[in-house]
Amino acid sequence: MNIKIFLLSMLSIIFIGCQKNSHVISKIPEASGISYCNNTNTLVVANDEGSLYEITPKGKIINKTKISKNYDLEGVICKNKKFIFADENGGIVFVDRKNHKIKYKKLELHFHKKNAGIEAITEIGNKIYLALQTKKKKRAKILIYQNGKIIKAIQTGIIDMSGMEYHNGLLYILSDTKDKLYIFDISKEKILKKIKVPKFAQEGITIHKNKIFFADDNGRVLKYKLKEIIF
């Protein structure tokens, strides 16, 4: 092979590789949920194996804390004094941000573990919203939790819900199977828009200003400009 052609080919491969990874800001094993922390300008990332990571918006890992191997941590909410995690097996994990003490709330849910699990979480006002991940539309529901119990279930028809964020009055729901982001009106209980997203193992979403961050179950955190995804 001509050396010039070989070098051009290698540069092309390197360029394409850089393009594909240009949105990756951090490498975190089995990243399963993400949330922006307003009071510290950081991100908290949940890990399937029961750990939490705090990172900067540029992706630098500040710290890693093992919460418990007993929990399959999925989505996460970051509040000023605590983290709130969804446990896939049917519970909510409250973690004190200062001393990492844990409170666990087991939920009374009527689903079979093989068919559905809690995969995403967000907060609207004083209510916690939990998304069930299921392959069947009729079982695809968002559960509303308040004062220690589930007070309502909303059917979405969105299979394999894997991430959820409340932003500007609407829910942004990821479907891993469909590689789509659904904009959902919670008051009207209907899908407003479906958006194709880049193909990866979508497991979490958070939005801050003009940026959108994703947790990728293959071990990455990705950052995009909001206008790259939602247009």
144 φ, ψ (degrees, to nearest 5): -105, 125
pLDDT at 77 over 90: yes
**Residue of 199 and 188 predicted with greater confidence:** 188
Task: Report, as an integer, the average pLDDT of 68-73.
Answer: 90
Q: Tell me which residue range forms the domain holding 84.
A: 3-229
Nearest to 184 by CA among 193, 195, 174: 193
pLDDT in tens, 93-142: 999 999 999 999 998 876 545 556 899 999 999 999 999 988 888 889 99
Residues 6+ apart with CB under 8 A from 16: none
Rg (CA), the chain: 18
Q: CB neighbours (10 Å) of residue 176?
A: 20
CATH number at residue 149: 2.120.10.30
pLDDT in tens, 38-57: 999 999 999 988 999 999 99
Nearest to 159 by CA among 120, 127, 214, 105: 120
The total domain count for the chain is 1
User: Alpha-carbon distance 11 to 171, whole Å?
Assistant: 42
Query: What is residue 12's predicted lDDT score, i.e. its pLDDT?
Result: 40
Half-sphere exposure in the Cβ direction for 86 (13 Å, CA): 31
Query: What is residue 46's predicted lDDT score, i.e. its pLDDT?
Result: 94
List the structure tokens of 90: 């049917």
Residues 6+ apart with CB under 8 A from 201: 176, 216, 217, 218
Query: What is residue 230's predicted lDDT score, i.e. its pLDDT?
Result: 83
Query: What is residue 226's predicted lDDT score, i.e. its pLDDT?
Result: 92
